[in-house]
């Protein structure tokens, strides 16, 4: 099944169904590498846009997890300067040095657009955040389906290549 995703003309129509099977059967590390490749690809929307899109499709716990991953890559000092200060406001100004932890209730106050801004800042400050998010999304494969067939085809192609090695 994965062979059809290794060429340039991958069939994106079946990608969501095939992704379900692969996400449950392939090693999580392979899925994480595939998701990271899709998040970086010039054939998909920019990383911040995809993160915002998946955030919009997330349940409260997944939203909190997304934000915790992103702010973990930023550091607490930058929180008050992004997303209109929304994160800094959640944590009393964001001026202490402790790494905050976003709760599902706090995450519910954030919009996908704010998360997109946070993701852009996180990617700028720490390019490794893309791999961190790829790993997070590999643990939450239902969210990955929100990024669309073209991105899923990239994920599946990367998993296929990784399994051949």
Identify the residue with better confidence: 107 or 6. Answer: 107
**How far is the CA of 14 from the CAs of 68, 145, 158, in angstroms?**
32, 11, 16
pLDDT digit string, tens, across residues 80-134:
666 556 555 555 544 455 667 899 999 999 999 999 999 999 999 999 999 999 9
- Cα gap 36→30, rounded to integer Å: 10
Q: Are 15 and 149 in contact (CB under 8 A)?
A: yes
pLDDT at 27 over 70: yes
pLDDT, tens only, 133-145: 999 999 998 888 8
pTM reported for the whole predicted model: 0.82
* 57 pLDDT higher than 90: yes
């Amino acid at each position: 099944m994965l062979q059809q995703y290794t060429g340039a003309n991958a069939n994106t129509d079946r990608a969501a169904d095939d992704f379900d099977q692969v996400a449950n059967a392939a090693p999580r590390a392979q899925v994480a590498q595939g998701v990271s490749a899709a998040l970086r690809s010039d054939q998909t929307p920019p990383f911040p846009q995809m993160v915002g899109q998946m955030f919009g499709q997330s349940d409260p716990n997944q939203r909190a997890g997304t934000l915790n991953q992103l702010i973990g890559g930023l550091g607490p000092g930058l929180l008050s300067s992004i997303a209109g200060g929304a994160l800094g406001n959640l944590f009393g100004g964001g001026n202490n040095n402790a790494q905050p932890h976003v709760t599902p209730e706090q995450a519910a106050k954030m919009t996908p657009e704010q998360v997109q801004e946070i993701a852009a800042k996180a990617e700028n400050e720490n390019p490794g955040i893309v791999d961190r998010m790829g790993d997070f999304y590999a643990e939450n494969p239902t969210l990955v389906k929100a990024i669309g067939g073209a991105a899923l085809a990239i994920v599946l192609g990367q998993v296929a290549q990784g399994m051949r090695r």
